[in-house]
């Protein structure tokens, strides 16, 4: 394109230069023609002057003897004027033909002047004078005719030369006009030609740039362009292909990042670090939202301290400063869910730079299960210690206690005792029995016997337990004027599958729950027992009473060993029940509202795992 533009401008320059040269030459020719016309006019004027001079000399000669005759000085002056006019005409001509004529005219003029001179010389001889005058006059007429002939010839050429000159001037004027009109038109045509080719290519490139600017990196310039613009289009297509590859790589990286970010098991937070917004959540993944009970949109914009407990929130500013100083911070804190539940979290945080700004990247992991496992392990170790102590106590205390009991019974039977003294002995024996029961329960909790799994009809087992509870309810301890009037309501599911469990241990669990339910009812009330299918191949047993219920504080401690609200309770009944259920792979949950009763829900698997029937803590105990 650049080469063609240069060639076009060179051609245009030559055209203008040629036109200028032609105009100059045409002007020169017109000027020469005008000069020739002027020269011819001057020649005609000089020849007319020559004729007039000849006529004056002729007139002087004819009037020589008349009263109007000129004096000799005038005649001589006229003759000299004629000679000068002849010389002037002679100096104007260069063509050979005209010069030959003027040679003859000069010779004739010299002869004529001689004759005129003789006329004035022989004026005394009248006869000869007249002859000389006639001869001289005739010579003058011939001379005048010859000059007139030349004048006529020149006068004929003048109009032709003038017409030729006019035509040359007209042609030159038309050519100049044509050049003046066509020159700009040609220039405009060339400019339009180059601009059209230039703007068309630029327009295609501009449209392609606009599409690329809108994100259409798949667009390429397929229209063939000319010259350097085709090279530019090729480079443009290579550039868009490279940009598309880079964008695809960035998009793939972003998809990988998004996938990792959104599917990560741990909670991920990106936090602000600057100004008053330091610690504000700017991004969070789905795991973070699920962990804290919020939606992702609800978390964004909150301060991280809002999901911390007050104790953890107080330490947050210090942790942010440490991260900004380049430290990798790891700590265990407590977070609060949307519903207020507190749970332990282990987090790791470091500095993240994006787009010239600094952020904190934090990974949070819910370690509730780990803490529970650690607590269970600690409790298992504690139970192992308690078991060893219980075994030692049982060994060290049981035998002396048995001896004391036997001694008391012997003394009570052999001695003559007053009724009050016998009551004291009976009370001693009763307390010894209570100590023995406490030791057995402690040993049962610390080192319970291994379950003997066998198929079991859960509904039948519950019926048996309800029958035993009814018999206990009729004992003097629960009957009488101030006794409890408790009824049992059964809702046992039909078609319930048999479970593999230890019948004696389940009976111990159910009977313990039923007795607790009876004792929770101060007067008249109801105990409801229900069975149903549970989730994931389990069955559930529900024992509910209409008693006084429990406060949250009491509910939180009822499964802890030795925790009791009864005056004579050991605090091991529910702890042993939970321990036995864990050995069965089951669980127990409690729901209670003060003044509205308590509900225990037991979940048992239908089948026991081959190697999982033993509770991990049991294995530690053994």
Per DSSP, the residues of 512-571 read HHHHHHHHT-SSEEEEEEEEEEETTTEEEEEEEE-S----HHHHHHTTSTT---STT--S
Give one DSSP letter per residue of 381-429, joined into a string: HHHHHHHHHHHHHHHHHHHHHHHHHHHHHHHHHHS---HHHHHHHHHHH
Residue with tokens 């009822």: 558
Closest among 278, 448, 259 to 349, alpha carbons compared: 278
State the pLDDT at residue 512: 86
Residue 532 pLDDT = 93
Considering 391, 417, 447, which residue would you say is the last residue of a domain?
447
R_g of the chain computed on alpha carbons: 71
Report the pLDDT value the prediction gives residue 528, as an integer from 0 to 100. 93
pLDDT per residue as tens digits for the range 126-183: 566 667 677 777 777 777 777 777 666 666 666 776 777 777 778 777 777 777 777 7
Within this chain, do residues 114 and 46 fall inside the same structural domain, yes or no?
Answer: yes
Q: Same domain, yes or no, for 460 and 433?
A: no
pLDDT at position 123: 59
**552-601 per-position pLDDT tens digit:** 888 887 877 766 766 556 667 788 888 888 888 899 999 988 888 999 99
Q: What is the model's pLDDT at position 603?
A: 93
pLDDT score of 479: 61
* 116 burial level (CB within 10 Å; 0-12, 13-18, 19+): buried
Locate 438 and state its tokens: 């406490």
- In this predicted structure, which of 15-29, 316-330, 348-362, 534-548 has the lowest mean pLDDT? 15-29
Which is nearest to 497 in space by CA: 609, 614, 604? 604
Q: Evaluate whether residue 174 is within a structural domain.
A: yes
What CATH number did the domain enclosing 582 receive?
3.30.565.10
Query: Of 419 and 72, which is predicted with more confidence?
Result: 419
Report the C-alpha gap between 221 and 216 in whole angstroms. 12
pLDDT at 614: 43
Query: What is the percentage of the chain residues whose pLDDT exceeds 70?
Result: 76
pLDDT at res. 227: 65
Judge residue 257's burial from the number of C-beta atoms within 10 Å of its C-beta, 0-12 exposed, 13-18 middle, 19 or more buried: exposed
Cα–Cα distance between 241 and 249 in angstroms, integer? 12
> Are both 296 and 235 inside the same structural domain?
no
- CATH number of the domain residue 53 falls in: 1.20.120.1730
Backbone φ and ψ for 539, nearest 5 degrees, come out as -125, 155
> What pLDDT, in 10s, does the model give residues 7-52?
766 776 776 677 677 777 767 777 777 777 676 677 767 777 777 7
Structure token digits, residue 481: 């004027």
**Residue 383's pLDDT band (cuts 50, 70, 90):** low
- The string of pLDDT tens digits covering residues 452-466 is 889 999 999 999 888
CA pair distance 150, 153, nearest whole angstrom: 5
**Total count of residues recorded for the chain:** 622
Judge whether 581 and 602 are in contact, CB under 8 Å.
yes
- Does some domain include residue 206? no
More confident residue, 102 or 207: 207
Over residues 179-230, the pLDDT tens digits come to 777 777 777 777 777 666 667 777 777 877 887 777 777 777 777 776 677 7
Same-domain check for residues 442 and 344: no
Cα(608)–Cα(407) distance, integer angstroms: 48
**197 within domain boundaries:** no
Residue 204 within any structural domain of the chain: no
**139/280 same-domain check:** no
d(CA 299, CA 304): 9
Task: Dig out the tokens for 290 from the structure.
Answer: 């699920």
**Residue 615: per-residue pLDDT:** 43
Distance CA 273, CA 278 (A): 4
Token digits for 604? Answer: 């048992």
pLDDT attached to residue 234: 82
Q: Which residue has the higher pLDDT, 399 or 532?
A: 532
Specify whether the CB–CB gap between 588 and 540 falls below 8 A.
no
If we measure between CA atoms, which residue out of 207, 205, 325, 347 comes closest to residue 266?
347
- Classified as helix, coil or strand, 360 is strand
Residue 499: pLDDT band (50, 70, 90) is: very high
Residues 433 and 467 in one domain: no
Residue 388 pLDDT exceeds 70? no
Same domain? For 299 and 361 the reply is yes
Is the Cα dihedral 35, 40, 42, 43 positive or negative?
Answer: positive
In a domain, 198, yes or no: no
* Residue corresponding to tokens 């004792």: 519
Give the CATH number, domain containing residue 413. 1.20.58
Q: What is the tens place of the pLDDT at every residue in 503-542?
A: 888 888 898 899 888 888 887 889 999 999 988 889 999 9
Cα(193)–Cα(239) distance, rounded to whole angstroms?
29
Side by side, the strands of the sheet bearing 587-593 are 485-491, 524-534, 538-545, 597-605, 587-593
- Joined tokens for residue 123: 């004026």
User: Residue 613: pLDDT band by 50, 70, 90 thresholds?
Assistant: very low
Q: What pLDDT sits at residue 504?
A: 85
Confidence of residue 489 (pLDDT cuts 50, 70, 90): very high
Q: Are 239 and 217 in contact (CB under 8 A)?
A: no
Q: What is the pLDDT of residue 259?
A: 72
pLDDT at position 473 is: 78
CA distance 343 to 337: 8
Domain membership of residue 477 as a residue range = 452-621
Which of 87, 117, 121, 114 has the alpha carbon at shortest distance from 102? 87
In a domain, 511, yes or no: yes
Which single residue is written with the structure tokens 């809108």? Answer: 214
Based on the domain organization, do 273 and 241 belong to the same domain? no
Per the model's pLDDT, the better-predicted residue between 295 and 443 turns out to be 295
pLDDT at 539: 93
The CA-atom distances, in angstroms, between 285 and each of 223, 352, 517 are: 47, 16, 46
Region of poorest pLDDT, from 95-104, 338-347, 348-357, 524-533: 95-104
Average pLDDT score over the chain: 77
208 found inside a domain:
no
Nearest residue to 529 (alpha-carbon basis) of 551, 511, 502: 511
**Would strands 357-366 and 267-272 be described as parallel, antiparallel, or unpaired?**
antiparallel
pLDDT value, residue 97 = 66
Same structural domain, 19 and 122: yes
Is there a single domain that holds both residue 278 and residue 246?
no
Residue that finishes a domain, picked among 447, 466, 495: 447
Ramachandran angles phi, psi of 74, nearest 5°:
-65, -40
How many CB atoms within 10 Å of residue 518?
A: 20
pLDDT score for 527: 92
Q: Is residue 166 part of a domain?
A: yes
In this predicted structure, the answer to whether residue 618 has a pLDDT above a threshold of 60 is no
Q: Looking at residue 91, what is its pLDDT?
A: 61
The label of the residue with tokens 């050979």 reads 96
Taking the C-alpha atoms of residue 455 and residue 336, their distance in angstroms, rounded to an integer, is 44
Looking at the fold, whether 318 and 394 belong to one and the same domain comes out as no
- What's the mean pLDDT in 97-114? 73
Distance of CA 124 to the CA centre of its chain: 136
- With bands split at pLDDT 50, 70 and 90, how would you rate the model's confidence at 622? very low
Taking the alpha carbons at both ends of the chain, their separation in whole angstroms is 96
Inter-helix orientation angle 96-121/126-213, to 10°: 150
Q: How many domains does the chain have?
A: 5
Helices (H), 93-125: 96-121
- Please, what is the angle between helix 72-92 and helix 2-62, to 10°? 160
Give me the pLDDT at residue 224, please.
76
Alpha-carbon distance values, 140 to 60, 78, 105, 113 (Å): 12, 13, 11, 9
Give pTM, 2 decimals: 0.38
- 325: domain CATH number is 3.30.450.20
Identify the domain boundary among 447, 477, 511.
Answer: 447
Asked if 349 and 365 count as a contact pair (C-beta separation under 8 A), the reply is no
Is residue 288 located within the same domain as residue 178?
A: no
């Amino acid at each position: 394109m650049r080469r063609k533009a240069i060639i076009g401008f060179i051609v245009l320059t030559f055209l203008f230069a040629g036109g200028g040269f032609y105009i100059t030459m045409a002007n020169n020719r017109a000027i020469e023609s005008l000069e020739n016309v002027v020269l011819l006019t001057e020649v005609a004027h000089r020849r007319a002057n020559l004729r007039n001079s000849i006529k004056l000399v002729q007139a002087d000669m004819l009037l020589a003897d008349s009263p109007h005759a000129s004096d000799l000085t005038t005649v001589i002056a006229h003759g000299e004027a004629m000679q000068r006019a002849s010389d002037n005409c002679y100096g104007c001509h260069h063509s050979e033909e005209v010069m030959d004529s003027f040679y003859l005219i000069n010779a004739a003029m010299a002869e004529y002047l001689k004759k005129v001179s003789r006329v004035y010389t022989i004026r005394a001889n009248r006869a000869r004078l007249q002859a000389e005058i006639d001869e001289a006059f005739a010579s003058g007429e011939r001379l005048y005719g010859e000059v007139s002939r030349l004048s006529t010839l020149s006068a004929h050429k003048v109009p032709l030369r003038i017409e030729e000159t006019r035509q040359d001037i007209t042609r030159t004027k038309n050519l100049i006009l044509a050049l003046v009109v066509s020159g700009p038109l040609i220039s405009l045509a060339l400019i339009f030609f180059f601009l059209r080719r230039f703007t068309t290519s630029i327009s295609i490139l501009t449209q392609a740039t606009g599409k690329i600017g809108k994100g259409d990196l798949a667009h390429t310039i397929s229209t063939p362009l000319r010259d350097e613009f085709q090279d530019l289009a090729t480079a443009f297509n290579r550039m868009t292909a490279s940009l598309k590859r880079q964008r695809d790589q960035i998009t793939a990286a972003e998809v990988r990042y998004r996938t990792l970010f959104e599917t990560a098991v741990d909670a991920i937070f990106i936090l602000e670090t600057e100004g008053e917004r330091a610690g504000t959540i700017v991004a969070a993944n789905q795991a973070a939202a699920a962990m804290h009970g919020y939606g992702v949109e609800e978390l964004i914009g909150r301060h991280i301290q809002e999901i911390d407990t007050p104790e953890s929130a107080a330490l947050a500013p210090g942790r942010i400063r440490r991260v900004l100083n380049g430290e990798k911070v790891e700590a265990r804190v407590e977070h609060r869910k949307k519903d207020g539940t507190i749970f332990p979290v282990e987090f790791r945080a470091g500095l993240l730079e994006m787009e010239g700004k600094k952020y904190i990247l934090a990974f949070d992991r819910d370690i509730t299960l780990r803490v529970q496992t650690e607590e269970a392990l600690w409790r298992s170790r504690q139970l192992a210690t308690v078991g060893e102590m219980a075994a030692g106590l049982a060994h060290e205390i049981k035998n002396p206690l048995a001896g004391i009991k036997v001694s008391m019974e012997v003394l009570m039977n052999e001695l003559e005792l007053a009724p009050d003294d016998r009551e004291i002995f009976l009370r001693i024996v009763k307390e010894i029995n209570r100590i023995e029961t406490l030791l057995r329960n402690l040993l049962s909790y610390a080192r319970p016997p291994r379950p003997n799994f066998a198929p079991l009809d859960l509904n039948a087992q519950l019926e048996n337990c309800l029958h035993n509870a009814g018999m206990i309810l009729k004992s003097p301890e629960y009957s009488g004027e101030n006794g409890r009037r408790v009824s049992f309501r059964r809702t046992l599911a039909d078609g319930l599958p048999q479970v593999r469990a230890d019948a004696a241990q389940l009976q111990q669990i159910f009977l313990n729950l039923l007795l607790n339910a009876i004792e929770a009812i101060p007067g008249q009330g109801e105990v409801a027992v229900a069975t149903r299918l549970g989730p994931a191949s389990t069955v559930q047993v529900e024992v509910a009473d209409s008693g006084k219920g429990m406060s949250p504080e009491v509910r939180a401690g009822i499964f802890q060993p030795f925790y009791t609200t009864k005056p004579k309770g050991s605090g091991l009944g529910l702890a042993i029940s939970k321990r036995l259920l864990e050995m069965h792979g089951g669980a127990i949950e409690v729901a209670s509202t003060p003044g509205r009763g308590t509900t225990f829900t037991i979940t048992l698997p239908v089948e026991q795992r081959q190697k999982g029937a033993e509770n991990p803590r049991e294995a530690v105990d053994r």
